Amino acid sequence: MPLGTLDGTPPPFFRQGPSALSKLVFFSALALLLMVADLRFHVIQPLRSVIATALYPVQWLALRPIVWGQGGSRYFESLTQSQTREAAAQYQLGLQSQRAQQVEQLTLENIRLRELLAMRERINTPALAAQVLYDAADPYTRKVIIDKGSLQAVAAGAPVLDETGILGQVTRVYPMVSEVTLITDPNQAIPVLNVRTGARGLAFGNTTYSSGTLELRYMDANVDMAAGDLLTTSGVDGIYPPGLQVGRVLKIERRADSVFARITAQPIARLDGSLHVLVLQPLVERMPDRPAVPAETGRTSKGSPP
């Protein structure tokens, strides 16, 4: 038989294989069998565990970019939130600190106002409450401005005091405000009384020893005066009510070449820190008028014509 006459192609059965319908039916039945077996007898569970274990490293590596991206976004988000919360906390802390300072200031003012009201009840003099607005602009004087004036019946020369003692005297009155000269001003003088000995003196604003102190002038060198003695108003000037605290003796210098002692006193009133004050009515407005002196009648001598 010639060589070219042999047919080398496989039979149609082996060349085409199973038909598509046969494959569909076979694999459908196999899947159904496996599902029923797994549901009833859990035969696929070991195989599933083995496959999951084998695929875990692949899944871990595949999920790393997603995890890193989510972690980075959460980091920046948490950083922004932390910064925002810190700023809000700092703001709230500032508000609380401001409120705490205001509470302390209000508590201090409340205590001083209570003491001022208590002093107002102790003195038998008409008084008007006022508030210190600001210090006078003149650096060579010791003056403050209060918020009461002639419209509130404030008179020139009226004593001004805080809850501890004499502060000064009204020296200039305007319709809405008044000018108060402090007792430490060099041009201000106030009669004082030593509570321990009863010695009277005149206190001026001190310009030679130190600012903010008083100087008792024209006191004898041998006067009975000691450091720590309390000085109050004597009331002899007709302006300041007697018994109001003025200061305490701070230093006494007795010089042999002078007949007067140099006495320095520290004011009791808070000259630089008082906010609320009392303006008293001067005593001269409540003192009785001086009795009139009767005119002397001319006497005629005996025998003279009437």
Does the structure show a pLDDT above 90 at 192? Answer: yes
203 with 88, same domain? no
Query: Do 91 and 192 reside in the same domain of the chain?
Result: no
Residue carrying structure tokens 């010791």? 142
List of long-range contacts for 45-53, beta carbons under 8 Å, 24+ apart:
none
Flag whether 77 is in a domain: yes
Among 34-38, 169-173, 266-270, the least confident range = 34-38
CA distance linking residue 277 with residue 109, whole number of Å: 11
Domain's final residue, options 65, 85, 100: 100
Residue 215 lies in a domain: yes
Which helix (H) or strand (E) segment holds residue 130: the answer is strand 127-135
Domain at 193, CATH number: 2.40.10.340
pLDDT at 284: 64
Encoding tokens for residue 67? 């995890």
Domain around 172: 127-285
For the chain, the C-alpha Rg in angstroms (whole number) is: 52
Q: Examine the domain organization and report whether 144 and 276 are in the same domain.
A: yes
pLDDT score of 19 more than 70: yes
SS3 content of the chain, % helix, strand, coil (to 5): 35, 25, 40
pLDDT bracket for residue 306 (50, 70, 90)? very low
pLDDT of residue 70: 79
Q: Mind listing the pLDDT tens digit for each residue in 228-248?
A: 999 999 888 888 888 889 999
Query: Are 131 and 236 in a shared domain?
Result: yes
| Number of helical (H) and strand (E) elements in the chain, helices listed first | 3, 12
Summarize pLDDT for 54-98 with one digit per residue, the tens: 888 888 888 888 888 877 777 777 778 888 888 888 888 877 776
Residues 179 and 43 in one domain: no
The total number of structural domains in the chain stands at 2
Q: What is the DSSP letter of 163?
A: S
Per-residue pLDDT of 130-149, as tens digits, reads 989 988 877 778 899 999 99
**Do 178 and 285 meet the contact criterion of CB atoms below 8 Å apart?**
no
222 and 95 both lie in a single domain? no
Residue 172 falls within a domain, yes or no?
A: yes
Hey, CA dihedral for 12, 14, 20, 24, is it positive or negative?
A: positive
Range with the poorest average pLDDT among 36-45, 68-77, 277-286, 288-297: 288-297
User: pLDDT tens-digit profile of 103-123?
Assistant: 666 666 666 666 666 666 667
Within a domain: 214: yes
Could you tell me if residue 63 is inside a domain? yes
